[in-house]
Every structure is written in structure tokens, then in C-alpha cells.
Amino acid sequence: MIKVFVVDDSAVVRQTMQQLLEGNAELTLVGSAPNPLIAAPSIRKLRPDVLLLDIEMPGMDGLTFLRQIMQTEPMPVVICSSLSTEGSKVALDALASGALAVIAKPRVHLKQFLEESRRELVQALKTAARSRPKKMIAAARPPSAESEKRPAVEGLHALAVNKPVVIGCSTGGAQAIEQVLTALPGDSPGIAIVQHMPERFTALYADRLNGLCRIRVREAKSGDRLERGVALIAPGGRHMQMRKNGGQYYVDVQDGPPVNRHKPSVDVLFRSAAGCAGADALGIIMTGMGDDGARGMKLLHDAGARTIAQDEESCVVFGMPKEAIGLKAVDQVLPLDRMAGAILSFDARG
């Protein structure tokens, strides 16, 4: 049984979660508390497998509590908060601080919402419980004013046909992508990224990364060129594909049905990169639940692209990389802290 602990100042949430989990064959509620100060001793004693955490609470807010947990004794945390509605900055801060999923709850009709969202809540808790969160050495860094002064990559160097990098990840990917991109110099090769993330989150997520990185990071739009010094994040709720025209690589953003239960889908991006870039591309698959991206990476590999998977030890969830490795679609398996170096080594080959 997966042991769940709920920290929420709403008695309605605590009671409803108990009712929703009653009779579940895989999940059981082992305790709840109205705020982190009361919850902390019980959590240490009960050692739950996953924590369902609100953000706005008296005494100590959930984001501060989350950061304390991730810096001392990391555990799987799912955020369920009204502050996450409309893709708020708080929700992104929570993901960057180690939360594995964010579920937006309304301020009204709360009990009805929880009952109607039972499947989403249960799936998020099950997924989180299978993860291995990593200790966060420090709290999420604020945007660096100095990073805004970096010069744009201009002239022939910017227009040079660069070898594109495509990255796909899911659970735990928000932190993983940040670690990779912040380690890259401002003239790195163009990067296209699919991170499974809800609509309205990706624009804020890209803005946050843009303030931390020497490369420029933005949410992708159809027709954007994949140029040096730029990383494009697929928008939530849209697929992103890559194409080549006049010696340059571009992305197209399109609607369509979910692929592998996801939109955007890593497989969609990887398939398009295999078709238009082939051996010129570098494909990287990182932490995430499920198998999205594995078959697309196999196409990349068979087209001559360089392919890399994140290793099990550094993954929060060794799902997507494991599936790609199982398909013999991976040239190299690397820890997360070597991904940026692998990108630069690939680029240096010319």
C-alpha cells in the first residue's frame, strides 16, 4: 500500500481525500494536518510514501515546507493548491523546488472538484510514489540580473547551420532541464525541448529559465528558428515538430490528439527530428514516467543521430530512459551532471 499524508488547512480537503482513498487497493491515507508545523512530527514518525501539500497555509507556507523537505529528507510531493490556478509562478517555484506534480484546485465548489478529479489525483499520487526525489542543495535561485546582460548571438555564427539538440523528459524534468541549461554557455547549439507540463505553465517556465541561463529560453511559436544560443520549450497542450528549410531548422507548433497520453509528446518531436536532421541531431531523453520518447529516439538512433539517456541513479523516475535503453535506441547513458558537457562535445565535432 502507498501511504499518503495530506497537509492542507482546509478540513474539506482533508475529509474528502480520506473518503476518496477509502477502499483504494493501492493507496491509503495514514494521516493529515492543517499546516506544516503540526504535520512535521507526524511525517517523521509515519514516513509516508507521498505527501499531498497545499501552498497557502497558516504558520508556514507549503513552498517553504517543501524546500525544507527537499534539502533534508527528500520525499515525493504533489502540490494541490488554488495558488496554482492559471499557471501561477508559485506552482513553477514548487516544481523547481522538487515537487513532482501540481494540481490546481478551485476556491469554490472544492468538494465537487476533488471528487470529479479523483482519477487525476490518484494517478498523480501513484506516479509520485514511484519516484526517487533528489536532495536539493539550495532553494531555487532567483533570476539573475547579470544573466540579462549577456549579448545576443549575432552575425554568421548565429546563422551557421548548427547541429540541433532535442530533449524530452517528464516527471522530475523541470529541475533536470534547469540543471542542464544553466550549465551551458550563451553560444550553445539550438535546443528544442518537450517537458510534459500543463497549459499556461510553459510560458512562465520558459521565462523563469531565461532569467537563470546564459542562453535565451522561450516558449516556442510556429516558425521559430532553432538558432544558436536559444532553447525553445514546447507549449503545454500543443505538439512541437522540427523541420528544415534553406539550411536552417525551424519548429512548428500544432494541435492534435495526445500521443502516448501526452500533448506535447516527446515522440512527436523526436520523430520529426529524425526525419529532417538525421545524423546532424543529438537526442537526449531524461527523467520521466512512462515510455513517451522511446520509439522516437529509436528512429533518431536508426537515422544516425547521437542519442543519450539519463542514468537511473540521477533520475527522479527511470521510466522514459529505461524504455529507450530497452529498445536499443541509446548510444550512451550519462548522469545528469554530464549532460551539458555532452551537448558541448557533440557541438564541437563540427
> Are 123 and 159 members of one domain?
no
Burial of 138 (0-12, 13-18, 19+ CB in 10 A): exposed
> Are 265 and 306 members of one domain?
yes
DSSP 53: E
Residue 289 forms part of a structural domain: yes
User: What's at 50, amino acid-wise?
Assistant: V
The edge-to-edge listing of strands for the beta sheet with 2-7 is: 27-33, 2-7, 50-53, 77-81, 101-104
Residue 173 forms part of a structural domain: yes
> Are 160 and 125 members of one domain?
no
> Are 174 and 121 members of one domain?
no
Q: Is there a cis peptide before residue 264, judged by omega within 30 degrees of 0? A: yes
On average, the pLDDT of the chain sits at: 89
Given 8, 54, 93, 292, which residue is catalytic? 292
Q: Is the pLDDT of residue 310 over 90?
A: yes
> Are 116 and 170 members of one domain?
no
Please report the pLDDT score of residue 153 as a whole number. Answer: 53
Give me 6's grid cell. Answer: 495530506
Mean pLDDT on 131-141: 68
List phi, psi (to 5°) of 219. Answer: -70, 135
Given 170, 188, 272, 314, which residue is catalytic? 170
User: Pairing state of beta strands 239-245 and 248-254?
Assistant: antiparallel
> Are 304 and 241 members of one domain?
yes
Sign of CA dihedral 290, 315, 339, 181: positive
Q: Is the pLDDT of residue 319 over 60?
A: yes
pLDDT bin (cut points 50, 70, 90) of residue 119 is confident
Mean pLDDT on 305-330: 97
- Number of CB atoms found within 10 A of residue 130's CB: 17
Residue 308 forms part of a structural domain: yes
SS3 210: helix
DSSP, residue by residue, 171-205: TTHHHHHHHHHHTS-TTPPPEEEEE---TTHHHHH
Nearest CA to 304 out of 275, 338, 342, 339 is that of 275
Please report the pLDDT score of residue 345 as a whole number. Answer: 95
> Are 181 and 269 members of one domain?
yes
In the chain, % of residues over pLDDT 70: 90
Given 196, 239, 262, 301, which residue is catalytic? 196
List phi, psi (to 5°) of 244. Answer: -120, 135
Q: Which residue has the cell 499518503?
A: 4
> Are 40 and 188 members of one domain?
no
Domain extent at residue 258: 154-348
Domains held by the chain: number: 2
pLDDT digits (tens, 9 = 90+) for 174-229: 999 999 999 999 999 999 999 998 887 899 999 999 999 999 999 999 999 999 99
Nearest CA to 276 out of 298, 256, 304 is that of 304
> Are 161 and 125 members of one domain?
no
From 113, 129, 145, the end of a domain falls on: 129
Q: Which residue has the cell 537511473?
A: 312
CATH of the domain at 302: 3.40.50.180
> Are 106 and 162 members of one domain?
no
Strand partners, 193: 167, 233
Give the length of the chain.
Answer: 350
Whether 170 is a known active-site residue: answer: yes
Q: Is the pLDDT of residue 277 over 80?
A: yes
Please report the pLDDT score of residue 157 as a whole number. Answer: 52
Burial of 112 (0-12, 13-18, 19+ CB in 10 A): exposed
List phi, psi (to 5°) of 333. Answer: -115, 125
Is the entire prediction scored with pTM above 0.85? yes
CATH of the domain at 52: 3.40.50.2300
Distances (CA, A) of 62 to 40, 51, 56, 176, 296: 12, 11, 6, 22, 38
> Are 80 and 198 members of one domain?
no
> Are 252 and 213 members of one domain?
yes
Q: Is the pLDDT of residue 347 over 70?
A: yes
